[in-house]
């Protein structure tokens, strides 16, 4: 349950941060390549345009889409995060309350993910067929890498994340 709670909280905060950074990248005009976005800290959006160059017209259209999405985006409900924090740090753990809160937060997260997926779909369809083909090929390559990683022993993945955490402490 703690893992679910942590995952919900982390994904909520990550999505909020990434959406803001992506919007900032659009506002500043840094949509030339994925490297520009990744330097802004937006690796999720960065993958969207990995390996392609955009025309000025495409960049402007993407800026417009992101600006519109930013205005239509539902805000993160800070009180829900605070409620979860209180449940997690309470003297006595109430699993049913945490579960209910996590599900409520997950529903909000799903709404935000659907909103972003819609924007990404619109962005993808602003690209030329050649650009789309490049992105689809890059996506296939990333999926193959993910499959390769998923086939590794689960215990080795845990050791990697544990040793990584020790370095950052």
Taking the CA atoms of residue 71, residue 73, residue 75 and residue 81 in that order, the dihedral angle to the nearest 10 degrees is -160
Tell me which architecture the domain covering 54-149 has in CATH: Up-down Bundle (1.20)
Would you list the domain boundaries of the chain?
A: 54-149
Q: Give mean pLDDT, residues 139-150.
A: 93
CB-based burial, 106-122: b 16+ in 10 Å, e otherwise? eebbeebeebbeebbee
Res 36 pLDDT > 50: no
Summarised one tens digit per residue, pLDDT across range 2-17 is 555 555 555 555 545 4
CA 96 vs. chain centroid, Å, equals 28
Radius of gyration of the CA atoms of the chain, in A: 19
Summarised one tens digit per residue, pLDDT across range 91-103 is 999 999 999 999 9
Q: Judge contact between 62 and 123, C-beta under 8 A.
A: yes
At residue 74 the predicted structure's pLDDT band, cuts being 50, 70 and 90, is confident
């Amino acid at each position: 349950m703690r893992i679910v709670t942590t995952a919900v909280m982390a994904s909520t905060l990550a999505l909020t941060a990434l959406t803001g950074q992506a919007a900032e990248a659009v506002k500043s005009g840094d949509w030339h390549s994925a490297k520009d976005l990744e330097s802004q800290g937006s690796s999720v959006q960065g993958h969207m345009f990995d390996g392609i160059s955009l025309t000025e017209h495409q960049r402007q259209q993407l800026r417009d889409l992101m600006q519109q999405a930013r205005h239509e985006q539902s805000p993160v409900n800070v009180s829900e995060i605070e409620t979860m924090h209180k449940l997690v740090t309470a003297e006595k753990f109430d699993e049913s309350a945490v579960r209910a809160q996590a599900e409520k937060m997950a529903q909000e997260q799903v709404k935000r993910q659907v909103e972003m997926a819609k924007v990404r779909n619109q962005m993808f369809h602003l690209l030329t067929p050649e650009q789309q083909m490049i992105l689809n090929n890059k996506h296939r390559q990333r999926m193959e890498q993910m499959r390769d990683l998923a086939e590794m022993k689960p215990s080795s993945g845990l050791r990697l994340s544990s040793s990584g955490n020790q370095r950052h402490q």
